Amino acid sequence: MNRLIAVEKKEDILEAYKKTPIALLLEYHNLGVPFEKYSNAQLLIGMCMDNRKHLRIPDNFAFIIRAGGANLRYSEFKVSYAIAVGGVRAIALIGHNQCGMVNLISRKELFIKGLVESAGWEPVWAEEHFMHFAPMFEIGNEIDFLLNEAKRLRLRYPKITISPMLYRIEDNLIYQLDERAAL
């Protein structure tokens, strides 16, 4: 977790994000800045589907795509739509600690049992389903995944500002990631 950069005041926001919608996101969520009114989305937020995360942002401020692990690989058309039609020029990629998409194999039996008991699946179908999809959605380490996903998205959308961030469940704050360690 030593790659986290806290935002406790406006001056803590990295220079690359100052005067961008990413700075506004951090100001609204972490610093409690009063909301402005928006009629159009200012950015796209890609974040995990985990129910423990809730953002403090104004209405109409952002498009939000929720996907396990903040993995946007299988949501690229939606990302492209937000850019091409929605006009966003920034993406906040927000993962979180204690993510269920880390070490998925450890949840294999729980996953199978849950589909059998709750959804009425046959055990063999549930296991096949897990084995087919788990490798696609496993993210490994949260921070490493976010840094790599930001790099991938920057190659795909070179004119878009992309910021990898981590939401800490313990304090409900968003942290910037120090990307220098990843170089």
Identify which of 55, 17, 29 has the alpha carbon closest to the alpha carbon of residue 161.
17
Angle between helices 108-119 and 123-137 (to 10 degrees): 130
Query: pLDDT tens string for the chain (183 positions)?
Result: 588 999 999 999 999 999 999 999 999 999 999 999 999 999 999 999 988 889 999 999 999 999 999 999 999 999 999 999 999 999 999 999 988 888 899 999 999 999 999 999 999 999 999 999 999 888 888 999 999 999 999 999 999 999 999 999 999 999 999 998 654
Domain 4-100+141-182 sits in which CATH superfamily?
Carbonic anhydrase (3.40.1050.10)
Question: Interior CA angle at 99 toward 98 and 103, to 5°?
Answer: 100
For the chain, the domains span: 4-100+141-182, 103-138
And the tokens for 8? 């406790």
- DSSP character string of 35-61: PPP-SS--EEEEE---TT------TTS
User: What phi and psi values does residue 46 have, to the nearest 5 degrees?
Assistant: -105, 120
